[in-house]
Amino acid sequence: MRKLIIHPLFWIGLLLAILALTSGMYMFNQVKRHELKKRQEFHGTLLSMPREIPPFNLEGMDNKPFNNRALHGKWTIIFFGFTHCGYVCPTTMAKLAKTYHLLEAKKHYPLPHVVFISIDPKRDTKARLSKYVKAFHPSFYAARGKDDQIKAMTQKMGIAYASVALKGQPNNYDIQHTGAIMLINPDGKLIAFFTAPHDSAKLARDYELVAW
């Protein structure tokens, strides 16, 4: 009976395969532990799967198109509001400015692109929007669009708002709206959102958890 002879290269290959499998399982478990830790520490709502942003086409305060393509290649924070807002908008924008300063101080790059989208295109001109956002931070950006464009975009992103006539002022109105902040990843997809009341330190920490 012939004795089976196994070539030494077979044992080397088998050993390398076992090492690769062991290493792969270790890395997989590390990633799972990291994801679990990230979700446990996250203060906002982190989506299990990033969500596609429906097609939109707005105009930025610099006259450039602001659309889905503008979201690619960077982290973007979007907040829907209006410049005549009395409390929710200036408070939220101030919180975002503080969040931005916290990230700057820690040198956590890349910093997010903060975009304010107007839900009041009738009164919010590009010049007014530019002046408004830059009062909070010189790098902040703003965009606007037609009423139907804004309504379609907000409905698909779960943002609710409605105009309310002011008593005794028939030609004036206020807008009631949700104060949610949306976080878009560099693939142009919604990855998380944050509901009011907002905390700058928590917003900064959540951004650190997902962006690094």
DSSP-derived secondary structure for 60-75:
ETTSSEEEGGGGBTS-
pLDDT over 90 at 123, yes or no: yes
Q: Is the pLDDT of residue 132 over 80?
A: yes
> What pLDDT score was predicted for residue 149?
95
Rounded Cα gap, residues 99 and 104, in angstroms: 9
183 backbone φψ class: left, alpha, beta (φ>0; ψ -120 to 50): beta
- Residue pair 181/92 in contact (Cβ under 8 Å)? The answer is yes
Residue where the block lists tokens 């790098």:
139
pLDDT higher than 50, residue 26: no
Q: Tell whether the model's pLDDT for residue 140 goes beyond 60.
A: yes
pLDDT over threshold 60, residue 2: no
> Between 195 and 107, where is the model more confident?
195
Q: What is the pLDDT of residue 211?
A: 87
Closest CA to 45 of 193, 182, 159, 185: 193
Question: What per-residue confidence (pLDDT) applies to 12?
Answer: 67
CA–CA distance from 71 to each of 18, 93, 120, 169 (Å)? 42, 20, 22, 39
Which residues are registered as beta bridge partners of 110? Answer: none
Q: What band does 40 get if pLDDT is binned at 50, 70 and 90?
A: confident
Beta bridge partners of 142: 116
pLDDT at 107: 84
For residue 169, the model assigns a pLDDT of 79
pTM of the entire structure?
Answer: 0.81
pLDDT in the model for residue 31: 45
Please report the pLDDT score of residue 3 as a whole number: 57
32 has a pLDDT exceeding 50? no
The 10s digit of each residue's pLDDT in 47-73 is 989 999 999 999 999 999 999 999 999
Lowest mean pLDDT of 8-12, 51-55, 126-130, name the range: 8-12
List the beta bridge partners of residue 176: 162
Q: What is the pLDDT of residue 71?
A: 97
- Is the pLDDT score of 106 beyond 60? yes
Kindly tell me if the per-residue pLDDT of 33 is higher than 80. Answer: no
Residue with tokens 């089976």: 4
